[in-house]
């Protein structure tokens, strides 16, 4: 594979950028600015208020920070594509975007898993909470949430680098796993590792989270002394984010397998949902549903 190989990317394959180039640029710039402002507000509020320096809120701040990383891996390149009307990009740049996209996407699931563990211990084993969720433990959870996906996705990306690329096709508005179609031959080891990544960064974390929340709701159902309200207030936002992001992640996999059978308009809409829905959903849900955060947002003097 030559480093000079180019791959078709961008919105040109889906939209008429000749007439509405600047309209699309303003639209995506507004989305990116909104993502920066909303997630930045959540991070700032949690950072400056000491009463929010608890594991649950630290994980929420980490989730917002991860959304900023995730969006920054997508939107600047999208701006360039819209303004330049360029369809091509280097293979190296595509793989870098692919690495960032899946690393930060997977980190979302691991951060949600850490939040589920925090809620599980807090509600089901409150006497062990102080010893289980110490500052050092929270730091370890955060480090693993970013390092594990980076190592796993990084290994997969290196495997792609070593493969020969033959096809010159469009991979969509950004580089995702559809870039694998550029490979001449996919070895059995490469396919097996792809299945391993899918199970380890999506299936296992999601199943673990769901099992913990099922356990939480069983426990609080047996103790109806106000515990149910506490559980729904703190767990429901996590579940909403988990379900929405899991749906989009599964669609990303399905789209790669059945791209030819999915209408182009549907593919475009879902690809845009993937890059905008969760970064916008996280701060809105946590800003509305978490009482302490909502209280601090209301107290902000915006003007």
Tokens of 87: 């369809």
Neighbours of 207 (CB within 10 A): 11
Which is the CATH superfamily of the domain at 6-291?
Rhodopsin 7-helix transmembrane proteins (1.20.1070.10)
Q: How far is it, in rounded angstroms, from Cα 245 to Cα 145?
A: 16
pLDDT for 223 equals 67
Tokens of 131: 């010893």
C-alpha distances in Å from residue 31, one per residue of 36, 65, 280:
9, 16, 9
> How confident is the model over 42-83, as pLDDT tens digits?
999 999 988 889 998 999 999 999 999 999 988 888 888 777
Q: Which residue is listed with tokens 């991860």?
A: 66
pTM, two decimals, is 0.86
Model confidence at 2: pLDDT above 60: no
Percent of the chain with pLDDT strictly greater than 90: 25
> How confident is the model over 192-212, as pLDDT tens digits?
888 888 889 889 999 999 999
Contact (CB, 8 A) for 98 and 177: yes
Contact (CB, 8 A) for 27 and 83: no
Tokens of 51: 């009463």
Contact (CB, 8 A) for 133 and 55: yes
- φ/ψ region of 183 (left if φ > 0, alpha if ψ in -120 to 50, else beta) reads beta
- φ/ψ region of 85 (left if φ > 0, alpha if ψ in -120 to 50, else beta) reads left
Residue ranges of alpha helices (H) inside the chain are 17-48, 55-72, 75-84, 91-124, 129-132, 135-161, 188-198, 204-222, 227-257, 264-289, 291-299
Q: Which of 11-15, 163-167, 213-217 is most confident?
A: 213-217
> How confident is the model over 34-53, as pLDDT tens digits?
999 999 999 999 999 888 89
């Amino acid at each position: 594979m030559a480093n000079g190989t180019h791959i078709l990317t961008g919105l040109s394959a889906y939209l008429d950028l000749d007439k509405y180039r600047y309209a699309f640029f303003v639209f995506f710039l507004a989305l990116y600015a909104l993502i920066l402002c909303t997630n930045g507000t959540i991070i700032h509020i949690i950072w400056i208020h000491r009463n929010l320096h608890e594991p649950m809120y630290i994980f929420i701040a980490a989730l917002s920070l991860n959304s900023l990383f995730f969006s920054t891996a997508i939107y600047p390149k999208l701006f360039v594509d819209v303004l330049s009307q360029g369809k091509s990009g280097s293979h190296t740049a595509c793989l870098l975007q692919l690495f960032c996209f899946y690393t930060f996407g997977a980190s979302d699931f691991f951060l949600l898993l850490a939040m589920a563990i925090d809620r599980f211990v807090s509600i089901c084993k409150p006497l062990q909470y102080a010893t289980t969720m110490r500052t050092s433990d929270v730091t370890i959870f955060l480090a693993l949430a970013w390092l594990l996906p980076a190592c796993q996705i990084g290994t997969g990306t290196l495997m792609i680098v070593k493969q020969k690329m033959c096809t010159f096709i469009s991979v969509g508005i950004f580089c995702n796993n559809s870039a694998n179609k550029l490979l001449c031959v996919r070895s059995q080891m490469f396919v097996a590792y792809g299945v391993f990544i899918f199970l380890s960064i999506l299936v296992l974390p999601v199943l673990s989270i769901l099992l913990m929340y099922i356990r939480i709701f069983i426990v609080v159902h047996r103790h109806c002394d106000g515990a149910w309200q506490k559980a729904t207030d703190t767990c429901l936002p996590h579940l909403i984010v988990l379900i929405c992001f899991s749906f989009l992640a599964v669609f990303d996999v399905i789209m790669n397998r059945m791209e030819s059978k999915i209408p182009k308009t549907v593919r475009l809409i879902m690809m845009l949902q993937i890059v905008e829905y969760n970064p916008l959903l996280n701060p809105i849900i946590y800003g509305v549903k978490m009482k302490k955060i909502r209280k601090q947002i209301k107290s902000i003097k915006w003007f």
